[in-house]
Amino acid sequence: IMAIAAVVTWVGVPLVGFLRYIFTSTELARSRPRALLSTAGFLLAVFIVIGGLKFPHHVRAEGIVEPERVAVIHAGSSGFVVRARPSGEIVDAGAVLVECENRQLLTRQKHLQAQREELQAQRRIARQEEQATVQVFDRKIKLTDRQLARASKELADLKIRAPFQGSWLSPQTDRMGGAYLKKGDSIGMVADLGHIRIRAIASQRVAGPLGVEGSGDVEIRVKGRADLELTGRLVEIFPAGTNQLFSQAQSFQAGGSVQTASDDPKAMRSAEKFFEIRVQPDPQGLDKVRLLQGQRVDVRFTLKSKPLLVQWWQSLSQMVQQRFQI
């Protein structure tokens, strides 16, 4: 209603007044044909400009910067932390991030090793005296070997290692010393900050035309820093919509552009479905503009050039369809 009232106030009323002046004003009694001709010529020129000439067409979406490779690190075995690498360090593949100890596991391993040695000795005696029992001892030794291998793996998993080279990020390393970690507990992540990507979110009215007319070239600007600009390319548009945000930074509550569901206290689920668009920044631009993990950016996509009148009509149609779920 407010939109209709605004159109009537700002467009309808002045237009009616202008037409009344052109057709009925006594001031234009002598020059009315010339005024009508001038007005028609001006309107024709405007129509040619907005309806005939093609102009660049762009759509925008908000994105979040994240590393291409991220691995969430979990405890492989239960135990008490004896050493933890400080967060923020660059680590190589296989580097120990957190080291734990579990004396029960160590005792069990030693017990199994002693049990295996005893079974081996009994097997040697049976081989000399009673051949029929050798197979029994062979089965017991194989079972013990499996238990020993499992215990050894659990002990090895007490040293939690980096799966690849990257930055070790963990908010809890400062207070992790002496803490007890259960198997499967999340303790941090390793991220390859040298290779980043942008995950943008867009509504159907942006993702739809982009999938058909998108040129692949994009412009990227850092939120709050319009002077920082770099280029990139469109990598992928996911065909299925989702409500799950990539980061809380995308929500209204954190200054983002997405309205979250009213029943979601964590602000990680959007009120309406959106489509994920993946963008790869050009490496040359990253030498001048440093993008940080979790940073919000504006991504501008280029569509096929078309007249302004067509662009306005498409925007209006899509807005009406989205508003009334047509």
> Across the beta sheet with 90-91, what order do the strands follow?
70-74, 186-191, 166-169, 90-91
**Structure confidence at residue 23 as a pLDDT band (50, 70, 90):** confident
Q: Where in the chain is the domain with CATH 2.40.30.170?
A: 56-68+195-324
What is the arithmetic mean of pLDDT over 175-179? 85
In the CATH scheme, what is the code of domain 56-68+195-324? 2.40.30.170
Outline where 92-181 has alpha helix (H): 103-129, 134-156
Per the prediction, the chain carries an average pLDDT of 80
Among 25, 24, 35, 63, smallest CA distance to 294 is for: 63
Amino acid 254: pLDDT:
65
pLDDT in tens, 229-274: 788 888 877 777 776 677 666 666 666 666 777 676 676 766 677 7
> Across the beta sheet with 180-181, what order do the strands follow?
159-161, 96-101, 79-84, 180-181
Among 173, 178, 169, smallest CA distance to 91 is for: 169
